[in-house]
Amino acid sequence: MPQDEIHYRIFKHIEAQPDISQRQLASALGVSLGKTNYCLRALIDKGQVKARNFQRNPNKNIYVYLLTPKGIEEKAQLTVRFLKRKMVEYEVLKREIDQLKDEVDGLDELFVSDPE
C-alpha cells in the first residue's frame, strides 16, 4: 500500500475514532504495528496529527489522536489524489472487463455455431 494511501486511511480512522489504539489502527490498515507507529509519528512530526493522553485515565499509555488544521487540509488533498487514482484504476478495470466480456461472447458464438 502506498504511503499516501496509508496516511489517508490513518486520517479517516482517527476522524472516525479518535481513541483508536495503534494496535487497532494497524489491524484496520492491514499493516504491521511498527509501520503504523512510524507513519503516525511522521504525521505527528509534520504537525498534522496531535496525540494527547486522556486526562483522568490511570493508564497513561492511552492516547486520543486529533487531526490538526494542517492535518485536515492534508486529508482533503489526499482525498482528491486518492479519488483520482481510484477513478483511473476503475477505468482500466472497466476496459479489461469489457475486453473479457467480448472474448467470452466470441467463445459463445464459436461453440454455438459448431455443428457437432
17 located within any domain: yes
71 located within any domain: yes
Overall pTM surpassing 0.85 (yes/no): no
- Are 78 and 9 a contacting pair, CB within 8 Å? no
Phi-psi bin for 17: left (phi > 0), alpha (psi -120 to 50), beta?
beta
Residue with cell 485536515: 72
What is the residue-averaged pLDDT of the chain?
A: 90
60 located within any domain: yes
Tally of domains within the chain: 1
CATH number for the domain spanning 42: value is: 1.10.10.10
pLDDT, mean of residues 84-95: 97
The residue among 51, 64, 67 whose CA lies nearest residue 12 is: 67
Distance CA 96, CA 74 (A): 33
28 located within any domain: yes
112 located within any domain: no
pLDDT, mean of residues 32-47: 96
Burial level of 36, CB count in 10 A (0-12/13-18/19+)?
buried
24 located within any domain: yes
Q: In this model, does residue 78 exceed pLDDT 60?
A: yes
Q: Which domain holds residue 18?
A: 3-83
Residue with cell 495503534: 22
pLDDT, mean of residues 43-60: 82
107 located within any domain: no
Q: In this model, does residue 55 exceed pLDDT 80?
A: no
